[in-house]
Amino acid sequence: NAGVTQTPKFQVLKTGQSMTLQCAQDMNHEYMSWYRQDPGMGLRLIHYSVGAGITDQGEVPNGYNVSRSTTEDFPLRLLSAAPSQTSVYFCASSYGYIGRVNTEAFFGQGTRLTVV
């Protein structure tokens, strides 16, 4: 099993450009989520999904879109990149709601995004 796979690992964008960060998991997990990690800020939830066709906003959703057409994939779209979106992005999956008893979250290796 590959676990959670994120692509690309590194990306540089110009302000105003759009792009999609890919996330795929092969563990048949229902719950997937996107976080951003900034220095001194910890991990902050952007969007999450509890199953195919169902998504919801997290703490910092502005400027990002998500969709969940299959159980395996949960792409994150930046509509018009801004320097404030420079960050490391992590995708995570779990078989149930993250944080529930005995529910382990599996994280990808991250995408380091720089917006200039």
Partner 1 sequence: TQLLEQSPQFLSIQEGENLTVYCNSSSVFSSLQWYRQEPGEGPVLLVTVVTGGEVKKLKRLTFQFGDARKDSSLHITAAQTGDTGLYLCAGEDSGAGSYQLTFGKGTKLSVIP
Residue numbers at the binding site for partner 1 (CB under 8 A): 4, 33, 35, 40-45, 48, 56, 58-59, 90, 92, 97-105, 107-110
The CB-of-5 to partner 1 minimum distance in angstroms stands at 11
Q: Is the Cβ of residue 97 or residue 116 nearer to partner 1 in the bound state?
A: 97
Chain centroid to Cα 3, Å, comes to 14
Q: Are 4 and 108 in contact (CB under 8 A)?
A: yes
Q: Which residue has the tokens 């960060």?
A: 21
The CB-of-25 to partner 1 minimum distance in angstroms stands at 12
Q: Is the Cβ of residue 2 or residue 99 nearer to partner 1 in the bound state?
A: 99
Beta pairing, strands 42-51 & 106-107:
unpaired
The CB-of-113 to partner 1 minimum distance in angstroms stands at 14
- Other Cβ atoms less than 10 A from the Cβ of 29: the count is 20
Positive or negative, the Cα torsion across 63, 81, 45, 92? Answer: positive
Q: Is the Cβ of residue 16 or residue 26 nearer to partner 1 in the bound state?
A: 26
